[in-house]
Amino acid sequence: GRMGRTLVELYYDVISPYSWLAFEVLCRYRHIWNIDLRFRPAFLGGIMQQTGNKPPAMLPKRGEYMLKDMKRMAKYYQVPVHMSADDFQRIIGTNSLTAMRFITAMDMTNPQYLEPLSREFWMRFWSQHEDITQPENILAVARQAGVSAELSQKALEMISSSAVKDRLKETTAEALKHGAFGMPAVVAHYDGKPHLFFGSDRLELLGSIIGE
């Protein structure tokens, strides 16, 4: 990277709508700020389990607020997240493990597709309200992201391999080591130490701490 660039890691899971917001904002700011942005696909389910965290919507008042918050954030950041009250059940009923393993496999084999692929998963789940757990739907997402049938088939075959499972576990463990308890977890490596920022609403603070 360029001289004195700050490494900023984004730990994310496509089941998390706030991760999508942070992803898009950081994608815009990496051209403005002196940062090297590194995408770190991790597994939110693992983080929640390890830390004893609960989905925000488990608390009804928090769920009500989240709907309003997401609507405002989507409008403000111009990201097409569409959330309604029945999405809470949809999230709880969706396991993102296969999707995150697929994204991890693509990161390991053809990392140039990591950004468009992740974006298409969010688009499909959060904008089009479509399934992201079944192999045919995962392949459809990859196709939308411009990945050839051959490469996506290869990535799909890799998801059951220990190499992919271990990589996803390791990335998730790294997020935990940095203090993550949910997603997105943004870690800026500045001044010789990692600085953790949770959520998509601390990005101005991140900028301020790294001198932007």
Provide the annotated active-site residues.
Answer: 16
Q: Tell me the CA distances in angstroms from 156 to 43, 56, 81, 112, 152, one per residue in order.
A: 17, 31, 26, 17, 6
Contact of 26 with 195, CB cutoff 8 Å: no
Show Cβ contacts of residue 17 under 8 Å, excluding neighbours closer than 6 positions. 70, 81, 83, 122, 126
**70: burial class by Cβ within 10 Å (0-12, 13-18, 19+)?**
buried
Look at residue 194 and give its three-state secondary structure: strand
